[in-house]
Amino acid sequence: MKIALIGYGKMGKTIERIALERGHEIVSVIDIENVEDFESDAFKSAEVAIEFTAPHVAVSNIRSAFKAGVPVVSGTTGWGNEMPHVQKEIEANGYTLFWASNFSLGVNIFMAINKQLAHIMNRFPEYNVQMTEVHHTQKLDAPSGTAITLAEGIIENLDRKSGWHLETENNSSDIAIKAIREGQVPGIHTIRYESSVDSIEITHDAKSREGFALGAVVAAEFTAGKKGMLGMQDLLKF
């Protein structure tokens, strides 16, 4: 399969290596210094583009790929407020976007467990829930997109929670998400339910970028030839 890369940092380079190992061809690499290559024949020849960049340029990158007729797999978070507008464009024009806050298989299993635990804990109001996420210092958004997705999974299943707030609870219906940025941590997410007598805690601890990169390449393989808005639920079918 012909793949274009949008963003060539540590994640982009890891995706490139895994894609080549799986027999794919990298036909174009776009980074800060060559954004004009969105209009190149090489980029337009791609069957799918994989985009890992920064929140302030993600939407522009996605739209440039759409204009070139190339489906996109994106793992950039922090631009959720613009997602509804992009979804309308996808529906109106027949574009293709596979977006996920986290492409790791382990994280997506963790997300499924998180929803089930919240469903169980809905019966036990004496437990309050909070979350901590730890990432490397280069991560620009806080809380992480994965933390927000986890919080949304809790809110869907826990009647006493209706929103989230960074660091502290504004009121009892909020989930407090503590965001820590240190070292080169790929990503740790911990959800803790606590009562006056005990606590229940689940944690996902990523050991490297490998799992995220492999998931992105598998998502690209899945996305090629499809239309519309796609996500990990479509791929994994939990």
- Cβ-contact 161, 125 below 8 angstroms: no
Residue 4: predicted pLDDT: 98
Residue 170: predicted pLDDT: 81
Is the entire prediction scored with pTM above 0.95? no
pLDDT higher than 80, residue 238 = no
Residue 140: predicted pLDDT: 79
Tokens of 52: 């890992």
Average pLDDT over residues 170-174: 90
Task: Please list, in sequence order, all residues whose beta carbon lies within 8 angstroms of the beta carbon of residue 67, skipping any fewer than 6 positions away.
Answer: 38
- Tell me whether residue 135 is one of the annotated catalytic residues: yes
Note the pLDDT tens digit of each residue in 71-87: 999 999 889 899 999 99
Residue 159: predicted pLDDT: 98
Q: Average pLDDT over the chain, rounded to whole?
A: 95
Residue 47: predicted pLDDT: 98
Catalytic residue among 24, 56, 135, 204: 135
- Tell me whether residue 24 is one of the annotated catalytic residues: no
How big, in percent rounded to 5, are the helix, strand and coil portions of the chain? 40, 25, 35
Q: Is residue 106 classed exposed, middle or buried when 0-12, 13-18 and 19+ CB atoms within 10 A define those classes?
A: middle
Residue 209: predicted pLDDT: 86
How far, in Å, CA of 3 to CA of 203, rounded?
33
pLDDT band at 190 (very low <50, low <70, confident <90, very high): very high
- Residue 4's beta-bridge partner residues? 28, 49
Average pLDDT over residues 218-237: 95
Residue 232: predicted pLDDT: 93
Catalytic residue among 10, 24, 119, 139: 139
- Cβ-contact 204, 106 below 8 angstroms: yes
Count CB atoms within 10 A of the CB of residue 204. 22
Count CB atoms within 10 A of the CB of residue 93. 9
Residue 208: predicted pLDDT: 87
Residue 51: predicted pLDDT: 98
